[in-house]
Amino acid sequence: TRLYTESGDLSNPAVQSRFSYYEVIGVPSVIFNGKVQVNGSDVGIGDGSLYNQALNGFRFSSSPLWISLSNFNANSGAIAGNVEMVSPTENIINANLVYYLVENAVSATDTHVLRAVHSEDISISGGGTVLPFSHTFGISPTWNTANLWAIVFVQLANKAILQSVSSLPQPNYNFR
């Protein structure tokens, strides 16, 4: 997903706030799992080695949560689903449930543009506990609703992302 800073209608105050949250001082900047930041376009970027190095620390990590979407309506901006605690021992307090609304193919050069952000505080504990969520984004008439999609993720105070889900079609997978 692309977050544009100070880029007219490709940016907004919520996006600017995410730049501040992650302490991004220059672009390009890629952030893995909310924790590891890879900046610039120097050696290791073009061949992907710096990205692989950053990703390897999280590649096979497990999560104590499972997030599912039950509804996303791009025309109305409504999104709903559940966060389920799958760990019998984990207690998550003062985390954030973060919603992104993204638009693909905004122009010939701009895609995966973050249009809106919403965040709410959550706490969840106890294996099998289900926390329902819902939010409705305001949809601008200038956006192409056929190109809108959403991401929802749980982020801890230390910026680590525990789990995410997208409204994009997903391949078949096995829950482990």
Residue 152 near residue 164 (C-beta atoms within 8 A): yes
pLDDT band at 95 (very low <50, low <70, confident <90, very high): very high
pLDDT digits (tens, 9 = 90+) for 35-52: 777 777 677 677 778 777
pLDDT digits (tens, 9 = 90+) for 132-155: 999 999 999 999 999 999 999 999
Write down the pTM of the prediction: 0.82
**How would you class 26 by CB atoms within 10 Å of its CB: exposed for 0-12, middle for 13-18, buried for 19 or more?**
exposed
Is pLDDT at 25 greater than 70 in this prediction? Answer: no
- The mean predicted confidence, pLDDT, of the chain is 86
Distances (CA, A) of 39 to 28, 48, 86, 97, 154: 6, 12, 34, 26, 24
pLDDT digits (tens, 9 = 90+) for 52-82: 787 777 677 789 999 999 999 999 999 999 9
Q: What is the pLDDT of residue 55?
A: 75
Distance CA 65, CA 131 (A): 11
